[in-house]
Amino acid sequence: MKDLIKQYKTVIKFILTFILVYTVLTFSYKLYLQYASSEIYYPDYMTNLVAKQSKEVLESLGYNAQVIPHPNEPSMKLIINKKYVARVIEGCNSVSVIILFASFIIAFTGKFKTTFFYLLVGSVLIYVANLFRVVILSIGLYHYPWRKDILHTVIFPAIIYGMVCLLWLLWVNRFSIRSKNHE
């Protein structure tokens, strides 16, 4: 057993670090959600921000858009040309995806400065990609409401998680300490 642990030490370290970081970040985020809701930023700051920024992008594309708090659930209603097309919920704000991304990067660490900047740039890229995902999904739902299931459950998750996987691959192959050890 000792030999197996010694042989797979880096794998075990990666898994334990990933689980620890993911658990701490997820627990912190759940606390934030529990205590951060307010009347100003309903249902929470990040979800409200994504909804309002989606509205701004839609308006810059020529759509008449508005966002209003949903009266029956913690979400924001996204309306295009007076047609309710989508609701922006907590899961639409990209924080959970960024937590997953960050947990992997920290578990597969690199130099501190490189890790910090990669986390920052990667998180911003994920956030922006998610924002455009919400905008394009809303436009798709406005024009093609019968395509809701494939747009929401297949195409757009594939885009956001595909991007995260590409960022992970870039990290592992270019910036992590393990990639430096193999050069």
Which residue type is seen at 139?
A: I
137-154 tens-digit pLDDT? 999 999 999 998 888 888
Q: Could you tell me the residue ranges of all domains in the chain? A: 2-38+91-181
Q: What percent of the chain has pLDDT over 70?
A: 95
Mean pLDDT, rounded, for 36-52: 85
Between residues 24 and 159, which one has the greater pLDDT? Answer: 24
* Contact between 122 and 106 (Cβ < 8 Å): no
Average pLDDT score over the chain: 90
Q: Is residue 13 predicted with pLDDT exceeding 70?
A: yes
Q: Is residue 172 predicted with pLDDT exceeding 50?
A: yes
